């Protein structure tokens, strides 16, 4: 059995999507019985997008991972989908599932594209395995940027206490663990474990408190750090098209 995971992030190997796919793969291969093969293909590494169609056709099971881009899939992923036009399943059963991760916390942002993905699977004639949604995905990048001790401390406390129920978004180990477990379960039972999916679907509600906490951390520890790095803090609010 060949499972192919297509990583649709334009950031390729350095993407949040890829990190989650890698964790999934680790879980998947933990108990290797020699029967199953798993591969991860970064869409941006494939020079001829048309060749993706044959990789797709050779796979028994497919997972397509991508970041939410303007409420749907990145253009690259849509180009890939378009190469599957008139695709006729060659295998007896071919299954397809998706990982969608968004920058904004909250499942709501990805639920609309999820409906599309379910129809898309039907269009291909594949068995739809579901969509694993992870909000707050860009937080994976925040921790690596922390240089100031005070920032690291706030960061740690928020992550450890799951402050405001958004704190867990800062805990990369936990995210990767969830995807690791997801991979393990998928290998065993061949479905996405609903308990893990539920864990990823947090915080369920955004209220003023967790919004303020998220805003404080993401704006100060991420955007402002990057703006400083590029010496662009003064230009932050530029409106070049007014």
Ligand X SMILES: Cc1cc2nc3c(=O)[nH]c(=O)nc-3n(C[C@H](O)[C@H](O)[C@H](O)COP(=O)(O)O)c2cc1C
Binding site for ligand X (CB under 6 A): 9, 11, 15-17, 67-71, 101-104, 109, 137-138
Name the binder of 219 from another protein, ligand X, none, CB < 5-8 A by kind.
another protein
Residue among 180, 181, 209 nearest 195 (CA): 181
For residue 98, give the 3-state DSSP assignment: strand
d(CA 186, CA 140) in angstroms, rounded, equals 23
Q: Does residue 175 contact residue 20 with C-beta atoms inside 8 Å?
A: yes
Q: How far is CA 123 from CA 29, 86, 92, 109, in A?
A: 30, 9, 16, 23
| Partner from another protein, ligand X, none contacting 112, C-beta within 5 to 8 A by type | another protein
Q: Phi/psi at 126 (nearest 5 deg)?
A: -90, 160
Say which entry of another protein, ligand X, none residue 218 contacts (CB below 5 to 8 A, set by partner kind). Answer: another protein
How far apart are CB 71 and ligand X at their closest, in Å?
Answer: 5
Nearer residue to ligand X within complex by CB, 11 or 156: 11
- Nearest-CB residue for ligand X: 103
Q: Which is nearer to another protein, 63 or 68 (CB)?
A: 68
| 101 interacts with, out of ligand X, another protein, none, CB within 5 to 8 A per kind | ligand X
Strand order in the sheet with 2-7: 37-42, 2-7, 61-67, 95-101, 127-134
Binding at 128: pick from ligand X, another protein, none (beta carbon under 5-8 Å per type): none
- Smallest distance from another protein to CB 46, Å: 13
Buried b (16+ CB within 10 A) or exposed e, 35-57: eeebebbbbbeeeeeeebeeebe
Q: What is the contact surface with another protein in residues (CB under 8 A)?
A: 9-11, 15, 67, 69-76, 78-79, 81-82, 84-85, 104-106, 108-109, 112-113, 115-116, 119-120, 122-123, 205-208, 211, 214-215, 218-219, 223, 226-227, 229-230, 232, 235-242
Choose between 124 and 214: whose C-beta lies nearer to ligand X: 214
């Amino acid at each position: 059995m060949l499972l192919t995971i297509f990583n649709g992030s334009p950031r390729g190997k350095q993407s949040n999507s890829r990190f989650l796919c890698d964790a999934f793969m680790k879980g998947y291969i933990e108990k290797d019985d020699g029967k199953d093969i798993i591969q991860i293909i970064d869409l941006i590494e494939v020079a001829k997008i048309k060749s993706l169609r044959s990789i797709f056709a050779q796979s028994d099971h497919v997972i397509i991972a991508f970041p939410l881009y303007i409420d749907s899939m990145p253009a690259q992923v849509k180009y890939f989908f378009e190469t599957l036009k008139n695709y006729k399943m060659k295998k007896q059963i071919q299954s397809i599932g998706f990982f969608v991760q968004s920058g904004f916390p909250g499942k709501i942002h990805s639920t609309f594209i999820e409906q599309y993905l379910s129809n898309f699977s039907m269009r291909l004639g594949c068995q739809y395995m579901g969509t694993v949604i992870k909000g707050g995905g860009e937080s994976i990048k925040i921790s690596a940027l922390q240089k100031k001790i005070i920032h690291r401390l706030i960061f740690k406390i928020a992550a450890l206490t799951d402050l405001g129920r958004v704190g867990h978004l800062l805990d990369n180990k936990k995210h990767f663990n969830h995807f690791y477990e997801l991979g393990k379960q998928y290998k065993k039972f061949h479905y996405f474990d609903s308990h893990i999916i539920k864990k990823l679907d947090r915080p369920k509600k955004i209220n003023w408190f967790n919004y303020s906490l998220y805003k404080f951390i993401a704006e100060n520890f991420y955007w402002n750090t990057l703006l400083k790095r590029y010496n662009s803090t003064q230009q932050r609010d530029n409106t070049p098209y007014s």
